[in-house]
Chain A
Amino acid sequence: MTETVISVSNLVKSYSDLKAVDDISFSINKGEVFSLLGPNGAGKTTTVEILEGVRNRTSGDVRVLGQDPERSKSLIYKLGILPQDFSFIYNSTPKEALNFYKRTLRASTDLDEILTMVDLSDKGSTPFQKMSGGQKQKLGLALSMVNDPEILFLDEPTSGLDPRARRNIWNVIKTLKAKGKSILLTTHYLEEAELLADRVAIMNKGEIIDSGTPMEIIERHHEDDRLIIRGDGEVSALLTTGGYKFEREGAYIKINMKNIKDATQIINYLYERKAKFEDFTLKRESLEDVFVRMVGEIEEDEAE
């Protein structure tokens, strides 16, 4: 039986006339990585901070490990939190910071191990103000793991990191998941969600506009698969003769297909006629494509 660790029902958060979170509901199971996606200002951070107990909600019900984060004082011992725009006392070092959380949260974790995990072992004694943006972010992640929490809230853990550091953080998240931790991850990087999340919810303007596994969302919203051929005018002439619809963009010819198997047919057709084309790619929409279109469509609808 799956155990629910977070449940949110009809959550609303208003700032005077703005509804930052507008009646959303979702739940997260134990051991699951759940990702909140959405454009800037969608209400992701607001939602996460309500779950952390940092902000009070306007209405609706929220349970984290069965408790109300607005009231519970003991919940903090079971949560690991990396806030968006993480910052720390500018003269403190990572070791001092980790020790502080270890003492206050009565944890027994090996701090060197955590530093190694986030690849900060050589920065353990560097004052916070002298660390780079990415190193600071890694410290934030390290701090969220000190108490070996049951649930982690990671609000944009990889923003501002270089590609290697991002992969490093992804590995940390995978390790945490393997240990059975439940993780609420917000991100702007769709491939990150696709890679790490069991389920995602797409937020826009305070509402959840869709949720499910990344595959489900792509299935629901993706448009035609697409064959892209690099070729000259001769190729396009042949395609016209063959009755194929296409669009040209510079050196690229784009053909939309209902079925991905149609691609073989088109390539064979061109090959038999000895058309000169350099290469071709088959493209299936990513979560990112779907996401950009979904959010874009809503904006267009509203503009009308």
Chain B
Amino acid sequence: MKPSRVSAYFILHAKSYMRSRSALFFQIAFPVILILLFGAIFSGSSYSPSTLIVQNESPSAISWEVVDAINSSGLFKVQVIGANQNISDYINSHSIQAALLIPSNFTTNYAYGYGLLILKGHTNPTVASADYQTINGILTQLNFKASNASEKLILSSQVALGNSGKTINFYVPGLIGFTVLSTMFNMVYTVPNYRRERLFRQLSFSGLTKSEWITANMLFSFLMLVLSDIVLVAIGIFVFGASLTLNIETILASALIIFGGLVFFTSVGILAGLVSDNEETVSVVGNLVMFPMMFLSGVFFPLNFAPAYLVTISKFLPLTYFINSLISVLDYGNISAVTLQIVWLLLGSAILFAVAVKLFSWKQK
């Protein structure tokens, strides 16, 4: 790997890219149009905090402290229902998205070191669902305030909740996901195109190697992603008043997630590009990979409203984890909840990248 060759190709690529209107459109203009569209459609619902039904079966100083903390966060309007009601029936009869149950053994358990709270809703919950993340964030704060370091308040969820992120907050990470996914589409087209035109052969006359080519491509894509994502975040915040958690840690974590996603989807793109050897298969393979991921991973709508089998499918799609991590980091400032997912993303990306480089041959037969 020679940095001088990587930079020479980076420059060549950047200049030709800047001349390509369609590439610029998909990289910059398209996501901007989408966020303006989504922002306009959903901006009305972005401010009202959703109502959280709370049933406290274990009244004590600590349990009420938790309820107070949630209420005073301003993120929920807490409404307490009597301990004699059946919470599941209540959820169903009132069509409620989120309800928090403080079980009767909570206070006792808390004294022993773990106080379990249960979140209930219509469908099966995901760890990254917005309500879960929000409440978890509040509990984390409380845990921090408590003098002993160990986590005492533990949130568990039994049934999923509707996502309060029918707001611009939700779409910013989603559209960042979209920009990363589109780098894959670039590769799906570029690889067969360059092979057909025998451009890899031509490039190899410069001494450039395939890993240098991929590296230069990814560096450039990363630069473009950073630029277009900054634009997205700026529009989200300044035009639609998105409330994102932006600090050094969350920005670095987001960059790491975006980089992991970039490596992952570039590799998928190269592999898909290798499979498709003519014009027609290119778009078939491209669409086959792109569209299910785009629609099922929550880029365009929250999955909490989707039927259970779609949610199951979404669990197998890499973009889902990618977007969940971004939501958790950017919307809730909660990095620890998704550390494992980020590690998986980076690990999976590294493995896939190695496979893609291995299978991607520049030599003629």
Contacts and interface: CB of A to CB of B under 8 A. Distances in A.
Given A76-B207, A100-B8, A104-B8, A91 B16 contact: yes
A15 B205 CA distance: 24
Contacts of B364: 49, 54-55
Contacts of A185: none
Contacts of A144: 205
Given A55-B364, A83-B201, A104 B19 contact: no
B211 interface: no
Contact of B206 (A83, A85, A91, A100): A100
Residue with the highest number of chain B CB atoms closer than 10 Å, among A54, A100, A104: A104
Interface string A8-35: 0000000100000000000000000000
B42 interface: no
Contacts of A90: 16, 197
Given A89-B16, A92-B15, A54 B201 contact: yes
A165 B206 CA distance: 26
A77 B207 contact: yes
Interface in B312-365: 363-365
Given A76-B205, A101-B206, A87 B15 contact: no
A116 interface: no
Interface string B199-233: 10110111110000000000000000000000000
Contacts of A15: 365
Interface residues of B, number: 26
Interface residues of A, number: 33
Nearest to B198: A87
B15 A55 contact: no
Interface string B1-30: 000110111011101110110000000000
B8 A88 contact: no
B12 A96 contact: yes
A212 to B, nearest CB: 31
Contact of A105 (B16, B201, B202, B206): B206
Interface of B: 4-5, 7-9, 11-13, 15-17, 19-20, 197-199, 201-202, 204-208, 363-365
Lowest 6 A-B CB distances belong to which pairs? A91-B16, A103-B8, A104-B206, A100-B12, A91-B19, A87-B197
Given A49-B364, A83-B202, A96-B12, 9 more contacts: A55-B365, A76-B204, A79-B205, A81-B205, A83-B198, A85-B198, A103-B5, A105-B206, A143-B205
Interface of A: 15, 49, 52, 54-56, 73, 76-77, 79, 81, 83, 85-93, 96-97, 99-101, 103-106, 127, 143-144
24 contacts: A15-B365, A49-B364, A52-B205, A54-B204, A73-B207, A76-B205, A83-B198, A83-B202, A85-B198, A91-B15, A91-B20, A97-B12, A99-B8, A100-B9, A103-B4, A103-B5, A103-B11, A104-B4, A104-B5, A104-B8, A104-B207, A104-B208, A105-B207, A127-B19
